[in-house]
Amino acid sequence: MVKLPALVGGWQIVKHCDKYESKDVATAISIFYFMWAQRFGDPDLMVRTQLEYIMIEWGDKARHIKYAYNVHGRKVTGATAVGLTLSPSYIWVYQGKGENSRISSTSLIHELVHVSIWAANIRSHGDPDHEGHEWPGWIPAHTKFIKETNDLLVAFDL
């Protein structure tokens, strides 16, 4: 476990400490929050508080799961997951292959959207069906936000 600097209780679990440096992950989270607050707001600081205590587990293999929802809300059986939001403040992210795999090419930002929706919903859910209609919260603007945020991370060489 490695402490994420500048986050009160933020940690990451890594098998190889040199894969994603803690300062880079903390920077990515800070960029995410700055953009989130500008785009979606955070009047009660619920999202910020949740991110301050994030636990990120980096996995070295994608996970095969029974089912998941695609971004359009359709249930997919026998899915392969590259990221999972397991609780309001615990996410698992596949780190990708190769030494040049960047944070921006992982599902980190996607999972942080789930965490943020969970915080904004006062921890009732993180909207697992994305743009589907079973759980409210995720809108097309969130999907667009992920791409824009990852593009900014690329500009910061993250």
Rounded to 5 degrees, what are φ and ψ at 152?
-70, -40
pLDDT confidence of residue 70: 86
pLDDT confidence of residue 99: 62
Is pLDDT of 121 > 80? no
- How big is the CA angle at 19 (ends 117 and 17), to the nearest 5 degrees? 100
Is pLDDT of 123 > 60? no
CA distance 122 to 47: 10
Is pLDDT of 130 > 80? yes
SS3 148: helix
CA atoms within 13 A on the CB side of 28: 32
**Residue, of 141 and 15, whose pLDDT is higher:** 141
Weakest mean pLDDT among 10-14, 89-93, 129-133: 129-133
pLDDT confidence of residue 22: 96
Per residue in 60-103, pLDDT (tens digit) is: 999 999 988 888 888 889 999 999 999 999 999 999 887 668 99
Cα 33 to Cα 27, 36, 38, 63, 131, distances in angstroms: 10, 5, 8, 27, 21
- Mean pLDDT over each residue of the chain, to the nearest integer: 92
Q: What is the mean pLDDT of residues 12-22?
A: 88
Q: Taking the CB of residue 130, how many other CB atoms lie within 10 A of it?
A: 23
Structural domain boundaries in the chain: 2-155
Pairing of strands 55-59, 2-3: unpaired
